[in-house]
Amino acid sequence: MRKFLMATVALSLSGCAVAQSSAPGSQSAQPEPRQQAGASQANAELFFMIEQLQGEVRRLQGELEEQRNQLNRLSNQSKERYIDLDQRLLNVSERLQAAPAPTDSSSADAPESNIQPITREYRQPTAFERESYQKIQTLIRDGNYDAAIDGIYSFISDYPEGDLTVNAYYWLGEVYLVKPQLEQAKQAFTIVATRFSDHRKAADAVYKLGVTFDRLNEKADAVRQMERVVSTYPASNAASLAKEYLDKR
């Protein structure tokens, strides 16, 4: 913008000089008062042009500053949403881990293989919801993990308690596992494994929770999760992977 201003001023000065030199009769032939009047008029016009350009620069700078402020506000809102949802995940995970075990003797005596998760019907996604979910999947496939995490958090916030919402929690754990941010991965997988234990992604989530514990070097917890997969979801592919893990111990 400064170069543009200097170029415009230079052109204006040269234009004034050409106009004065090409006028009928030379400046030396004009009376002194007329020369001074012409110079004053040229200076006034030049000053007016400079004022206009400076005003335009100030206007553009104001717009740029407003856009910068808007970007900062959006960035801060995004970070606040991250913190809020991460805290919600952590709170739920801690409450579930701190919950006392059932004391009913009949259920305690029953073998774990007979434990059946309570099934429920999940809200089916709309076409727009599916489209949003596919965009997240594309980000994950492309390895754009930070953008994928942002998209997952937004998706969970916009579409709570749906069928694809559970998938989104699961993939949040997968992305955190890859980054690797293991504590966050543990929280996300725990949500699916406990709150949505009847969902089709639950078996995979329990297995990946065991993998996460293993990478955190919490071997006893890892074994418990693998055994849980085998006993609760015996027909799943995750159960086969869990058996392989247990056999290698």
Q: CATH: 2.60.40.350, 1.25.40.10, 3.90.226.10, 1.10.10.10. Which one for 126-247? A: 1.25.40.10
- Reply yes or no on whether the pLDDT at 98 is more than 90: no
Average pLDDT for the chain: 77
- Reply yes or no on whether the pLDDT at 130 is more than 60: yes
Backbone angles phi, psi at 206, to 5 degrees: -65, -45
Structure tokens at 68: 């910068």
- Reply yes or no on whether the pLDDT at 53 is more than 60: yes
> What is the average per-residue pLDDT within 39-49?
74
Structure tokens at 2: 């400064």
62-85 in b/e burial notation, b at 16+ Cβ within 10 A?
A: eeeeeeeeeeeeeeeeeeeeeeeb
Higher confidence at residue 201 or residue 26?
A: 201
> What is the average per-residue pLDDT within 87-110?
50
Confidence (pLDDT) at 105 = 40
The ranges assigned to domains in the chain are 126-247
pLDDT tier, 22 (very low <50, low <70, confident <90, very high otherwise):
very low
- Reply yes or no on whether the pLDDT at 1 is more than 80: no
- Reply yes or no on whether the pLDDT at 100 is more than 60: no
pTM higher than the cut 0.85 = no
